[in-house]
Structure 1
Amino acid sequence: MPFSALRIYFDNPAGRVLEHPDGYVVILYHPGARVLFELQAFLQHTGQLLHRRGWHKLLSDHRAMTPFSAEERAWILDYWLTRQTEGGTAIVGAGVYPPAHLAQLPAAHLDQPAHLPGITYRFFATPEAAAAWLAQYA
C-alpha cells in the first residue's frame, strides 16, 4: 500500500507519522535540517500512536532525511526508546535507507536484525521488503 494512501496522524518539519491498517506506525523523515524540538515532537507523537493503538511495530523511512546529529541520537536512545519500552514492551522496527547508506553497513547488519535493549531492528532498501519483514511479527 503506498504511503500516500495511509491516514496521517501527525506532520511537522521533521517528518510525518502515518497509521498503517496492518497494525504498525510508518514514519517518514522529511529532507533538510531539523530542530531538536521538532524531532522530539515528531517522535513523541509516534510513541503516542504506538501506545494508543497498542502496537509495537514501526516502519521508518530514512531515505530522504539528513543524518541524525549526535544530540538527536542521544535523545532517541536515552529518552525516547527508553520511554517506549517501559514495562517490557519491545518494539520491532524496520528501517528503509538509501542504497549508499546500506552499502556502508557490514553484511551482518543486513542479513540479521539488530537487538538492542527494547528493540529489534533491521535495515531494508525498500518499504515493501520492510513491510514484509514486519508482517512476520504478531
Structure 2
Amino acid sequence: MLVPGIRLYFENAVGRVLEHPDGYALIQYHSGPREMPLLQAFLTHTGQLMQLRGWHRLLSDHRVMRPFTPDESAWILSYWLSRQTEGGGVITGAGVFPAEQVARMPAEHVEQDAHRPGLVFRMFADENQAATWLLQR
C-alpha cells in the first residue's frame, strides 16, 4: 500500500522505487528470489530517480527480502555505487532490517555509520527512526 504523498517511480519483481516528498528515494524490496538482471534494472532506476531529482539520500527497506548474494553485493559496490558517486558525490543511506536481525548484530555495526567510499549507511529496525536520521543528513 502506498502512503499519500509518495509516488511510485518504478516496480518490478525485486521491489518498488518510490519518490518520497521529503526528498529521498525510498526502495522497498519484495520477498522471494531475485534474478540479477531484474536487480540491476531495479537499482538502475533507483539511480536514475536520484540523479533526476538531484538527491543523495536513500531509504531502503530490507525487512522482507532475502540477503544479497555475493554476486549481487559485488555488483552493487563495484558498478552501481561507483556510477552514482562519479565526480565525488556521496550517497547517504538508511536501511531498515528485521528487528531480530538488527538485535543480533554487534552494537558498533548498528549504532555507527558505515563508511565506504561514496557511501554513508546506517542500519535500523524502525522505519521512522531511519527516516529521521536520514533527514538530518
Same fold (TM over 0.5): yes
* Residue number in structure 2 paired with 1:16: 16
- Deviation of residue 109 (structure 1)? 1.4
Q: How does 1:1-138 map to 2 (within 5 A)?
A: 3-5=2-4, 6-137=6-137
- Deviation of residue 102 (structure 1)? 0.8
One-letter amino acid of the counterpart of residue 49, structure 1: L
- Which stretches of structure 1, 4 residues or longer, exceed 4 Å deviation after superposition? none
The 3-state SS of whatever aligns with 2:102 is: helix
- Deviation of residue 3 (structure 1)? 4.8
- Deviation of residue 4 (structure 1)? 3.0
C-alpha separation in 2, matches of 1:27 and 1:104: 24
The 3-state SS of whatever aligns with 1:122 is: strand
What percent of counterpart residues are identical? 58
TM-score by length of 2: 0.96
Pairs aligned (count) = 136
- Deviation of residue 108 (structure 1)? 0.7
Unaligned runs of 5+ in 1: none
C-alpha separation in 2, matches of 1:101 and 1:73: 18
TM-score by length of 1: 0.95
One-letter amino acid of the counterpart of residue 130, structure 2: A
The 3-state SS of whatever aligns with 2:79 is: helix
Deviations 1:62-114 (A, max 9, x none): 00101111110110011001111111110000000001211231101111111
One-letter amino acid of the counterpart of residue 76, structure 1: I
Q: After alignment, is 28-37 or 100-109 more displaced?
A: 100-109
C-alpha separation in 2, matches of 1:110 and 1:70: 21
- Deviation of residue 126 (structure 1)? 1.2
C-alpha separation in 1, matches of 2:100 and 2:127: 16
Backbone CA RMSD of aligned residues: 1.1
Unaligned runs of 5+ in 2: none
